[in-house]
Structure 1
């Protein structure tokens, strides 16, 4: 799923007097992903190094002059280009100190924006729709500039894109409530005009964003009613100029964002990739009114992937003659949002913040659930469950066979009679006794002439489960376990298998299904959890389970404390401090002598609150894929006694992971620390009210609170270390070093 990471401040803001504008006119990429050029709304241009969060250079025009469009960087000439007072083009280099002494040229018509993509030539877009390459304009600055737009038509937004080795200037206009899209191709010069479909009367787009993919330019625009549309134009379909004729531009609805009561006043949407859109100024679905959020939505599955509350005001801007945002302009107000190199730049409150983000490739599993992380070599083997392409498009399935063992090969060579066909075995399952069914199914699975094992396994499992449910005296646990081990079976193929295993108390089969089935529904996961947690430890110890998972728990329970220092973000000292803070709310605490003695004494040995085999089964639940939205309602069915016991076990795991040196050993199946913390949060979300009212849960809640705080602190510190290591990696190693040298490396 998409992720928004912890942000940091690039610079402070000086908002305008009316407090509707942040004071930032534009942000443009510079020489690489670590440098940006920030233009304020009046007179200054500043070059920042993003990772250092500090300015490298700054340039200011004279008093009385105003920068009317954001500065851009020409990577070919290593020069900066900006426009002041709508008509004066200024060009300078980084070593120049005063803008007034740099190159200036006055043109004959008002400039809307100067655009420049990495590796391309700067392009000048005039307010009346004409486009010129900067070099050709500077050769004759006073050349006449034609008027492309109609009398009452005005530009609302523009950008520059390189597609098919061609430069395109893209801009939108508004005329008497109608909105138009212009595509200006450079070399050869062709201009195409499109008319956007009308929304509800009186509604105009709040924001625009454009991207190029698969030989098509895709325009994304957001309306005040929360509708996000996309229009697609083929770059190869652009013909000669059509004059004033405007072609209709079809659109498709990508998102219907929740807007609450009324309409959006200031919001913007920015394309991140083919499946993700960043949105700011739109209410968070689960947050109250009056809070501003930055969110990432998945357009393929209509899901909210990540959200981050932005402290302070999200700025808008009153309409001005010369617009000033490279991304968003509305008729009445504007919200600013820029994105470069997996970083979002957003002004809010008194800061210009940078929010790093990550958008993994969109898939149904990542949008609705959490993907399983395979750890053992056995689980890394490619599963033979067919892909969606095979199901939808009829691709020829690759034959899949189970691994032959020496015993299987020997049995197959010594068979004196030919094995039964699949259809015959299916008929046999319905009437034959258990011993005969097991023998024939195992013989069928060991044969090498079964080219398509997937349908056969599904049919065999479904038939076995159906008879077992209908006939209480019939059950083949070893055969069902062998079918699951083929990895050609999933829950969707045989949905009653796990429930049958729970009914027959075949917990080993339950463990196998949790390990190998990637699509177990959340309701079944909760049924397993309820069965495991309510099972007496005496009965659990009689169950035969997987040796790897049992070995892990034996090692974990038998281990000592290990080091007392800080591990995994947790130490006994910080635990006591956090617990004291939670009890006192940050105030002064009067401690008794007994409490002080308890704090200074050696922490007691952690005892597992459940038996060994019950812990192994609970670990399988922790490692099962799930979706928070679908899992939480079913977790509410657990009793308070089981909830407290489960949380105590999660606390035990966390303390062991924090204090011992041997959790998650290679080759042993075990839950990760992240999975443990996720389940802690899930249980607290589902039962917080009940736990608060339960006296015996008070100390448990305080402990879990300290665990979460330590993990937050750990992640924060790891983020700082990651940034420092990235900077060290970028540093070029000197090839020749003298006999004696001193090098100082500062880590921030």
Structure 2
């Protein structure tokens, strides 16, 4: 199986005054644009050699990362916040390039294959050509007053260009993200980052478009690395910040490396002998596991910038820019998207499609889905549970279970149900909720409020469906669900047996098995398991002992999962189990089972030598035998 690989760094260049502004893609995918305060350079990512370089005077520094404008085939940058310059590859001296003086300071330039956008510090966004033709024009801002712009990004979603602005309110210091379409008069959706630490602020971030949503990974000043998923179609007002891990560094920088991986530079505490060493690390975004790390050289600076292009990570620390080659295992895109190649090439037909009617039909379908979603969320049109169930049925009929983007219609619907159930205590459309959750894979982190309501109502049927069908269920929800199921089992505190017996009835055992098979992070789960009391721990350990001891249950829950849960429970409640008299007998029986299993596998290993000798001798025998043309033989081994 392929592993994540991170090679030693190659120093590309030095930058003046430690002021690296950023990196952008050049006209070629194998070239990158590097910008510092006094220079713009393009570098080859194959041999790391400088292709072109342009400089400006020190008293007129660059204040934005230079970009390549595909429409004009020119480079664009900003000097002293308001001086916009544009030049070609043939230009030798930027001092001679006449700037266009703007009336408003520029925050950043955003370029893609279609056009280049100019983002002003007040939040206004305009096309580059319009800015060049009308440099003094007044442009409406997309941000409210008393908000400071902290970041910007753009990407294509279908035929529409989406713009994301990250900002912080000057008064309440709350961080917000604004998502809107290019050219739209509507300022778009404003969402507030919800973080448990209200005094925390974002230090660095990275955005990645994924289907009908944008994934935002943020590092906060308290060390939390959080993942937020923002659907383009959402009625929520908040963005949940799901903690992935905690880092010890004041100079960390982060970037996505694709959907499944992200890189963080400047991490400390990863070397026990020298905890102050800093590392460049690659993490798996699904399971939050460390995939690769590389020690970084010491530096006095607390600032760093990181980006990736193709198979190269560019990292600036201090006055050095270093390139690191990396490789990650390929995701199974064919299996995920159902793009199976037809092996019969002779039957392949080339079709020239007219995309306009197809785009119109797609927009029509989206409009129908949005209309049905609004009807389901309208209290007047869905007054009763039956009316709500009918609206949900109509909505589900228009969605496709095989397409991930369609789940974005169901997440706001579940959140709406959670809020409505809080206001209307009697409203609980159980069967409709089961149908919604079973329809497709919904991210649990995007509907945390709904899961909390399900737990509060103690609806085990809906909860079991959520645990079985939802992805990335938080560990605290798993443990709270476990508590709910265990407390429905009467007499669990005194239910310890001296024989191998299932302490649960069949229905409860099925619910517990669903819990055991939930994907989770061991570190976070161990912390959450501490909320179980000793009685709940004992009856759960007894059930795990039953699963470990009986053959017929090994297909239901794998032995590896059972062992993992036993270890987590013992680690999280070690002291309580040691001093508990009720736990003594159970732990001794558990020890006996483990010892028996270890002895059994040792005996199996001893058979390896015997089988190897027998197979070798049989090959020699059958080679000289008249029956050597037979496909197989049957041998009987008698063990004493």
TM-score in terms of structure 1 length: 0.45
Alignment of 1:149-164 (within 5 A): 149-164=143-158
- Correspondence for 1:299: 285
Distance 1:2 1:157, change over 3 A: farther
1:351 aligns with 2:346: no
Name the CA distance, whole Å, in 2 between partners of 1:61 and 1:494.
61
The structure 2 residue matched to 1:112, chosen from 77, 99, 107, is 107
1:215 maps to 212
- 3-state SS of paired residue (1:67): coil
- How far did residue 312 of structure 1 move? 2.3
How far residue 257 of structure 1 moved from its aligned partner, in angstroms, is 2.2
| Post-superposition offset of 1:150 | 4.7
Q: 1:370-411: per-residue Cα shift (whole Å, max 9, x none)?
A: xxxxxxxxxxxxxxxxxxx9x978xxxxxxxxxxxxxxxxxx
**What residue number does 1:24 align with?**
20
Alpha carbons 1:170, 1:182 under 8 Å: kept: yes
Aligned counterpart, 2:163: 169
Inter-partner Cα distance in structure 2 for 1:69 and 1:45: 11
Whole-angstrom CA distance in 2 between matches of 1:527 and 1:549: 28
> Is 1:188 matched up with 2:184?
yes
Other structure's SS at 1:81 match: strand
Residue 528 of structure 1: CA displacement? Answer: 9.0
2:329 to 342, 360, 369: 360
Q: Secondary structure at the match of 2:100?
A: strand
The SS at the match of 1:39 is strand
SS at 1:336 equivalent = strand
Q: Distance in 2 between matches of 1:258 and 1:305?
A: 16
The verdict on how the C-alpha distance between 1:256 and 1:63 changes in structure 2, with shifts beyond 3 A counting, is closer
Deviation, structure 1 residue 138: 1.4
Aligned to 1:384: none
**Structure 1 CA distance, aligned partners of 2:158 and 2:322?**
34
Give the deviation of 1:39 after TM superposition.
0.6
CA contact (8 A) 1:28 1:37 kept: yes
Aligned to 2:566: none
8 Å Cα contact 1:311/1:349 also seen in 2: no
Aligned with 1:276 (options 255, 261, 278): 261
Tell me the secondary structure at the aligned position of residue 83 of structure 1: strand
- Aligned residues of 1:271 and 1:278 also touching (Cα < 8 A): yes
Aligned to 2:14: 13
1:518-540 CA-partner distances (Å, limit 9, x unpaired): xxxx999997997699x7xxx98
Rate the CA distance shift 1:526–1:268 in 2: closer, same or farther, 3 A.
Answer: farther
Structure 1 pair 494–112 and aligned structure 2 pair: CA distance change class (3 A): closer
Cα deviation for residue 490 of structure 1 reads 12
**Which residue number in structure 1 is paired with residue 89 of structure 2?**
94
Secondary structure of 2:187 counterpart: strand
* Residue of structure 1 in register with 2:131 after alignment: 137
Is 1:311 matched up with 2:297? Answer: yes
Match of 2:238 among 240, 245, 249: 249
Q: Do the aligned partners of residues 492 and 103 (structure 1) sit closer, same or farther apart at CA in structure 2, a change above 3 Å counting?
A: same
1:455-474 aligned within 5 A:
none
- What residue number does 1:46 align with? 41
The change in CA–CA distance for 1:348 and 1:525 in structure 2 (over 3 A counts) is farther
SS in 2 for 1:188: coil
Q: Is the 8 Å Cα contact of residues 178 and 198 (structure 1) preserved in structure 2? A: no
Distance 2:75 2:217 in 1: 29
Q: Which moved more, 1:62-71 or 1:94-103?
A: 94-103
State the superposition RMSD in angstroms: 4.0
Partner of 1:234: 231
Corresponding residue SS for 1:207: strand
The answer to whether the 8 Å contact 1:218/1:230 transfers is yes
Contact 1:38 1:47 survives alignment (8 Å): yes
In the aligned structure 2, how far is the partner of 1:494 from the partner of 1:204? 38
Conserved 8 A contact 1:316-1:336: no
Q: 100, 120, 123: which is aligned to 1:126?
A: 120
- Structure 1 residue 184: Cα displacement: 3.2
Change (3 A) 1:217 1:525: farther
Give the superposition deviation at 1:161: 1.4
- Shift in alpha-carbon separation, 1:221–1:527, aligned structure 2, 3 A: farther
* Residue of structure 2 equivalent to 1:704: none
Structure 1 CA distance for aligned equivalents of residues 102 and 214 of structure 2 = 31
Counterpart CA distance in 2 for 1:75 and 1:26 is: 19
Seen in structure 2, the aligned counterparts of structure 1 residues 495 and 204 have a Cα distance that, compared at 3 Å, is closer
Unmatched 5+ stretches in structure 1: 17-21, 239-246, 318-334, 364-388, 394-464, 468-487, 497-521, 552-748
- 1:135 offset after TM fit, Å? 1.1
SS in 2 for 1:281: strand
1:702-741 matched pairs, under 5 angstroms = none
> CA–CA distance in 2 between the matches of 1:166 and 1:159?
14
Structure-1 separation of matches of 2:22 and 2:43: 13
The question of whether the paired residues in 2 share the 8 Å contact of 1:292 and 1:314 is answered with no
Cα deviation 1:222-258 (Å, max 9, x = unaligned): 21233222333333459xxxxxxxx722314140224
Equivalence map 1:381-460=2 (5 Å): none
Secondary structure of 1:206's match? Answer: strand
Partners of 2:209 and 2:203 in 1: how far apart? 21
Q: Provide the secondary structure at the position in 1 that maps to 2:95.
A: helix
- Kindly tell me: are residues 190 and 491 of structure 1, through their superposed partners in 2, closer, same or farther at Cα, counting changes over 3 Å? closer
- The answer to whether 1:339 aligns with 2:308 is yes
CA pair 140-295 structure 1, distance change in 2 beyond 3 A: same
Are the structure 2 counterparts of residues 163 and 10 from structure 1 closer, same or farther at C-alpha, using a change threshold of 3 Å? farther
1:351 deviation in Å? 3.0
Deviations 1:186-205 (A, max 9, x none): 13343222222244243101
Deviations 1:129-177 (A, max 9, x none): 1100111111211112344445542111111211122112212111232
Aligned residues: 373
Query: Which residue is 2:199 aligned to?
Result: 202
- TM-score of the aligned structures, taking structure 2 as reference length: 0.52
1: distance between equivalents of 2:72 and 2:255? 29
* C-alpha contact 2:8 2:294 (8 A) present in aligned 1: no
**Partner secondary structure for residue 138 of structure 1:** helix
SS in 1 for 2:129: helix
- SS of match in other structure, 2:63: strand
> In structure 2, the residue corresponding to 1:135 is in which secondary structure?
helix
The answer to whether the 8 Å contact 1:314/1:347 transfers is no
Cα distance, 1:25–1:529 mapped onto 2, change above 3 Å = farther
Aligned to 1:413: none
Secondary structure of the residue that 1:339 maps to in structure 2? strand
Change (3 A) 1:493 1:229: closer
Q: Which residue of 2 aligns with 1:628?
A: none
